[in-house]
Chain A
């Protein structure tokens, strides 16, 4: 059943692994092996069991049944990161670095070099510098982690793993938060590691990347092993289909023509705020307006300012023809304006709470009856939201942190919609979620627009901007550099505006 990709024996093998959490099975007899010097991609929808399998491979979970073989011998991996000593390192999606410590201190954390009982700073710094040079990372061992970009932190994690003589490196969506350029740099490092004989397990939802970097691909669906194939034998479309188990030809909904004469619901003129300068644009009723540009180009800053999450330094905002000035978030909500953050774990949801309080938090005043919360109405709202947004939870009382990313995103969407907004701003609507959920979210956005709600989609994924938006605004360094409509909405045009190669005089 497996495609043997190389003659070398597997470093680590998972054989017929099953795993249940309490009565709930999440993996059914899954097998996977990793050879030295290969990149093995693990793909599947959210909730397919990828995270669980990774955690079993790195010893953070015990399998309920099945075997783990290390260098051909059956073994039980030590728990809680003890497997690092065996050369198996898991890099979590939420990076595991001490933010207030330096690069050098982090790399040597827990196994500091000592001489005469004191820390041998010089030796550690030199060693870290050597690794940084090798990997081509332009930071100093003395830099504080909190001063680094996410991509650099990612690299530090890799340096940390390499310095521990990792033989198997397991990475959970390492590119989810990287820009395209950063991803390129990152892949170069991955290839170097690969050439030095490290086996890499790589989880990603970006199938083009999988195609580009992986040697072999294992596909999981609903906890079942679907296939393991050479990446050369697969196309991104085939991968998507195998993940979802159905045709995905209609990933993007049919586009309804926008009514160019519809009333203006939002008029922004010469808006200045932290990170943005004299930004002007309009939004019409029922329109889906895309905001494209590189990360940090000011897309999010525009809408944080408009929605009262950041101070406004100048300019005017007209909502439904009325000038508003600067608003609080609550005032924006009451006027029908809602912003869905791209950072669902830090700014969107209370991960330690259940679904109900999360769902109703933004629209809570609506649920107050006689000065107290109407828990029946809240329950009814949750019922509706679960149905409308197809939120799939093992049980209703699960804490939100335990939901898969896709279900969290659906719940967040439900939370925003609970206050019946007329204008919805969705920042990175599909970050870190699977193809099936993406499709649902695109269709939902299209349906909203058809009902007359205006939607702003901020996204770094060009295909989705192109696939669902009526009009696209491109930003660069805090300015709007271009507005695209119709046939001009294509990757080439967007990229030229985003990279500053082209600029159009506005208004």
Chain B
């Protein structure tokens, strides 16, 4: 990776418009895929690639939401717990509706509707507490993270909540079936990614997120309703968590205290690897998608090879995050900037 970056540095010496920040994550992913292929050619089999994409979808969808929150200068640590709590409530609601509504599509739709309402609601709570309550986002979401996590444990009575077996049959295709060769979760991922990209890069709302993350005072003086925009970023985050949960529940058909553990960190990692700046003001949806793919690919490669133990997955992910951020430092090739 060093040589690749050196080359780019040499080329960009005259034209600074080709930014290593932009192509870095793509190069990294490409490199990982080549390594994967060299270690085990079946890495590029259609089956493995679809599997990889499907697995990326959860973190990827959540990370798209996180990109908005982080770009606007916030942070949301509660997404993993939120996903667990939403899964729990979805399962309880669907199981409870079996008597009256049966085990067909309406029940599943009720569950999904419930998930969306909960996601939006939970996001709104996070947003309102940070903006109207004037509490640091880190503290607010640390608090709600604990609350949601303990709620799902409480609902499951310390064990596991399982979805009614017949509903599972109805719901199953959402995770396991495909359309045009791609599993549904991947389609949802693609749709969320495209909407996210358009929203961040092509609308006034996206510009406002960037402005607020760059400098909140400037945003306020520029007639931007800072509280509303910030709250909306958390609502978008909640909505993304709800989408991820909707495609996650049919995978196992259960929820427990260990559902979605550490998802918040993976989502934030995906965002950062993708080149979004953690302190806000600069966001890249495309990078986030690549970041999510990179994280999943590492795990996938380790599954395929004996060279490095699978238990070192976290180590590899951690290294990638640190290396990615190191390479993104804009001044490392120029020596000193100002």
Quick check: is A347 within 8 A (CB to CB) of the other chain? yes
Quick check: is A333 within 8 A (CB to CB) of the other chain? yes
- Contact of A361 (CB < 8 Å), options: B203, B217, B222, B281: B222
A350 and B281 CA atoms in complex are apart in Å by: 9
Quick check: is A339 within 8 A (CB to CB) of the other chain? yes
- Contact of A347 (CB < 8 Å), options: B17, B217, B336: B217
- Contact of A350 (CB < 8 Å), options: B17, B198, B215, B338: B215
Smallest CB separation, A340 vs chain B (Å): 9
Contacts known (A346-B215, A372-B202); A357 close to B207, Cβ less than 8 A: yes
A349 and B221 CA atoms in complex are apart in Å by: 10
Please state if B218 and A364 are interface contacts (CB–CB under 8 Å). Answer: no
Quick check: is B204 within 8 A (CB to CB) of the other chain? yes
Question: Which residues on B sit within 8 Å (CB–CB) of A333?
Answer: 223
A333 and B17 CA atoms in complex are apart in Å by: 35
Please state if A372 and B198 are interface contacts (CB–CB under 8 Å). Answer: yes
**B242-257 at interface with A (beta carbon < 8 Å):** none
Smallest CB separation, A431 vs chain B (Å): 16
Quick check: is B233 within 8 A (CB to CB) of the other chain? no
**B182-240 at interface with A (beta carbon < 8 Å):** 198, 202-204, 207-208, 210-211, 214-215, 217-225
Please state if B223 and A350 are interface contacts (CB–CB under 8 Å). Answer: no
Question: Which residues on A sit within 8 Å (CB–CB) of B218?
Answer: 346-350, 361
Question: Which residues on A sit within 8 Å (CB–CB) of B223?
Answer: 328-330, 332-333, 362
Encoded as 1 (CB less than 8 Å from any A CB) or 0, chain B from 321 to 338 comes to 000000000000000101
Contacts known (A352-B281, A372-B203); A362 close to B211, Cβ less than 8 A: no
Question: Which residues on B sit within 8 Å (CB–CB) of A362?
Answer: 222-223
**A79-119 at interface with B (beta carbon < 8 Å):** 79-80
Interface SS, B side? helix
Question: Which residues on B sit within 8 Å (CB–CB) of A350?
Answer: 211, 214-215, 218, 281
A443 and B225 CA atoms in complex are apart in Å by: 33
Question: Which residues on B sit within 8 Å (CB–CB) of A352?
Answer: 214, 281-282
Smallest CB separation, A251 vs chain B (Å): 29
Contacts known (A80-B336, A365-B204, A373-B202); A339 close to B211, Cβ less than 8 A: no
Smallest CB separation, A168 vs chain B (Å): 21
Quick check: is A341 within 8 A (CB to CB) of the other chain? yes
Smallest CB separation, A278 vs chain B (Å): 26
Residue among B204, B210, B221, B225 with most chain A CB within 10 A: B221
A415 and B217 CA atoms in complex are apart in Å by: 15
Encoded as 1 (CB less than 8 Å from any A CB) or 0, chain B from 275 to 315 comes to 00000011000000000000000000000000000000000
Please state if B203 and A371 are interface contacts (CB–CB under 8 Å). Answer: yes
Encoded as 1 (CB less than 8 Å from any B CB) or 0, chain A from 364 to 379 comes to 1101100111000000
Encoded as 1 (CB less than 8 Å from any B CB) or 0, chain A from 315 to 353 comes to 000000000000011101100000101010011111111
Please state if A368 and B204 are interface contacts (CB–CB under 8 Å). Answer: yes
Question: Which residues on A sit within 8 Å (CB–CB) of B210?
Answer: 353, 357
A372 and B214 CA atoms in complex are apart in Å by: 21
Question: Which residues on B sit within 8 Å (CB–CB) of A351?
Answer: 215
Please state if B220 and A329 are interface contacts (CB–CB under 8 Å). Answer: yes
Residue of A nearest to B202 (CB): A372
Please state if A348 and B221 are interface contacts (CB–CB under 8 Å). Answer: yes
A351 and B336 CA atoms in complex are apart in Å by: 19
A20 and B203 CA atoms in complex are apart in Å by: 38
Please state if A364 and B207 are interface contacts (CB–CB under 8 Å). Answer: yes
- Contact of B221 (CB < 8 Å), options: A60, A347, A365: A347
A475 and B235 CA atoms in complex are apart in Å by: 45
A203 and B202 CA atoms in complex are apart in Å by: 43
Please state if B204 and A330 are interface contacts (CB–CB under 8 Å). Answer: no
Quick check: is A207 within 8 A (CB to CB) of the other chain? no
Quick check: is A257 within 8 A (CB to CB) of the other chain? no
Question: Which residues on B sit within 8 Å (CB–CB) of A367?
Answer: 204
Quick check: is A309 within 8 A (CB to CB) of the other chain? yes
Residue of A nearest to B198 (CB): A372
Quick check: is A233 within 8 A (CB to CB) of the other chain? no
Residue of B nearest to A339 (CB): B221
Residue among A339, A347, A362 with most chain B CB within 10 A: A347
Residue of A nearest to B282 (CB): A352
Please state if B221 and A309 are interface contacts (CB–CB under 8 Å). Answer: yes
Residue of B nearest to A364 (CB): B204
Question: Which residues on A sit within 8 Å (CB–CB) of B336?
Answer: 79-80
Question: Which residues on B sit within 8 Å (CB–CB) of A371?
Answer: 203
Question: Which residues on A sit within 8 Å (CB–CB) of B17?
Answer: 397
Question: Which residues on B sit within 8 Å (CB–CB) of A329?
Answer: 220-224
Contacts known (A365-B204, A373-B202, A373-B203); A346 close to B225, Cβ less than 8 A: no
Smallest CB separation, B288 vs chain A (Å): 20
**A380-397 at interface with B (beta carbon < 8 Å):** 397
26 residue pairs from A and B, CB less than 8 Å apart: A80-B336, A309-B220, A329-B220, A330-B223, A330-B224, A332-B223, A333-B223, A341-B221, A343-B217, A346-B217, A346-B218, A347-B215, A347-B221, A349-B218, A350-B211, A350-B214, A350-B218, A350-B281, A361-B222, A362-B223, A364-B204, A364-B208, A367-B204, A371-B203, A373-B204, A415-B222
Question: Apart from A329-B221, A349-B218, A365-B204, what are 4 other A-B pairs with CB-CB below 8 Å?
Answer: A347-B220, A348-B218, A350-B211, A353-B210
